[in-house]
A and B are shown apart, each in its own frame.
Chain A
Amino acid sequence: MNKVTVEALKEYGFSAVALPEPEREITGVYIGDLLSWVMGRAKSGDAWITIMSNINVLAVASLADTACVIAAEGVEITEDIAKSAVEKGINILSFSGSAYDAAVLLYELL
């Protein structure tokens, strides 16, 4: 398996919104928008693909210890949230395509 860092995604159509830990390795993928579901099922090191963009995403990403949040469908992440993500050490990338498109790209990389 290739080692894929969060930063490397920038070369594949993902754009950085907040990258306080660019060297963090992605070891899997989880897709979901219901926060409790994500908390219960996402694994540490997963890239979490979601269309949720409110502040609670940061708490879930932090507690579930995901490698990064991928905001699919180009959903807007406000500056406040991006700033808070940097403070909390949470990586966020934006992706203009669907969650499925993002997952397909990640499947090819991992």
Chain B
Amino acid sequence: MSEALKFRFDVDGNDFTSAGKASVQVKKNLRQLGLSPETIRRVSIAMYEGEINMVIHAGGGVAEVTVTEDCVEIFLSDKGPGIKDIDQAMQEGFSTASDNIRSLGFGAGMGLPNMKRYTDYMDIKSTVGVGTDITMRVNI
């Protein structure tokens, strides 16, 4: 595999019932590529958390998944409110989700920590009032 393979998804910010669609699709695609179950699990969990964050906080966004010879890269970009304090947001249990969101089972404050835990590299660039870009890599 010399050329990188790229999948792109628009994440709908208004639809909780279809949240996770992109992650489930990526899981299928990676399975077809024959990646190991553990790699697929790590990528799809990290991506789902990111996808849910974009739906809950940012009104949706764009997700791009690139598969190269040695890693799977996930790039998430939104034009949401941005993250004020990234260190605080990275703490397990810290959440700004509403009670309504919590009643759906989200808002545990585990999203960003899970993304870090399941990837080999994670970089967050966020500007308040402008949006957030997240790059994650899972080594194959």
Q: Which residues of A contact B (CB under 8 A)?
A: 33-37, 39-40, 44, 52, 54-60, 62-65, 88
**Chain A residues touching B, majority SS:** helix
Q: Which A residues are in CB contact (< 8 Å) with B45?
A: 39-40, 63-64
Q: Which of B24, B104, B105, B113 interacts with A63 by CB under 8 Å?
A: B24
Q: How many A-B residue pairs have CB under 8 A?
A: 71
Query: Lowest 9 A-B CB distances belong to which pairs?
Result: A59-B20, A36-B110, A34-B108, A35-B105, A36-B108, A40-B114, A63-B44, A52-B105, A55-B17
Q: Which A residues are in CB contact (< 8 Å) with B41?
A: 44, 63-65
A60–B19 alpha-carbon span in the complex (Å)? 11
Q: Does chain A have a CB within 8 A of B48?
A: yes
A34 touches B19 (CB 8 A): no
A62 touches B108 (CB 8 A): no
CB distance from B65 to the nearest CB of A (A): 14
Q: Does chain A have a CB within 8 A of B23?
A: yes
- Using a CB-CB cutoff of 8 Å, which residues 26-55 of chain B contact chain A? 27, 37, 41, 44-45, 48-49, 52
A62–B106 alpha-carbon span in the complex (Å)? 16
A57 touches B48 (CB 8 A): no
Q: Which A residues are in CB contact (< 8 Å) with B121?
A: none
A44 touches B20 (CB 8 A): no
CB distance from A56 to the nearest CB of B (A): 6
Q: Which of A44, A52, A54, A59 interacts with B24 by CB under 8 Å?
A: A59
- Using a CB-CB cutoff of 8 Å, which residues 66-111 of chain B contact chain A? 104-111
CB distance from A64 to the nearest CB of B (A): 7
Q: Does chain A have a CB within 8 A of B16?
A: yes
B37 touches A33 (CB 8 A): no
Q: Which of A33, A44, A65, A88 interacts with B105 by CB under 8 Å?
A: A33
A62 touches B19 (CB 8 A): no
Given A44-B37, A63-B48, is A56 in contact with B110 using a C-beta cutoff of 8 Å?
Answer: no
Q: Which B residues are in CB contact (< 8 Å) with A52?
A: 104-105
15 A–B contacts, CB within 8 A, in A order: A35-B52, A36-B52, A36-B106, A36-B110, A37-B110, A39-B48, A39-B114, A44-B41, A56-B20, A56-B106, A58-B20, A62-B27, A63-B41, A63-B48, A88-B24
